[in-house]
Structure 1
Amino acid sequence: MSLLRGRTVVVSGVGAGLGHQVAAAVVRDGGNAVLGARTEANLAKAAAELDPDGAHTAYRATDITDEGQCDALAALARERFGRLDAVVHVAAWD
């Protein structure tokens, strides 16, 4: 039994490192991953790698220091998958 099957998880910091690995685990376990990172090109690459047919991912360039952009990422989860079950924040800023 999968804990994430059918669940929708927003993951920030997906451009590389831990965020990317968390998103991969969500998709691998049958969940939907809504990906956030600052660079759209990195997001598109990550989404294509994690979910080639695009059925279980959505993404939006997001600066986590901007509340409106974070709200838009959460809204994307609800619009695309009809729900938002969890947020995993692994982004950092300098």
Structure 2
Amino acid sequence: RHGGLMLNNGRVVGTIAPKPKSIALIRGVQYRAEAVLLSGEEAEAARARYCKRFPIARAMKASVWRLDLHEVKMTDNTLGFGKKLHWARSIL
């Protein structure tokens, strides 16, 4: 289901963050990206790298995707409350 949705519109956003015990410990990343379905040698190489790290994945025959990042925002309150670092892909 998700793969079909991404084929129709590859724009995705996400958050990677643990649940802190205190606001002062908030650390995490938010991103905006384009999901790209890999094929051929590129997909095989990516799957091999992934299965080397997670051998159980060899049993699954799921598609392999790449995220082309467009924007990333990292929040790290351990560096000071509300400390945010921003990155955006340059348009050439």
| TM-score between the two structures when normalised by the length of structure 2 | 0.28
More helix by share: 1
TM-score by length of 1: 0.28
* Larger RCO, structure (CA 8 Å, separation 6 or more): 1
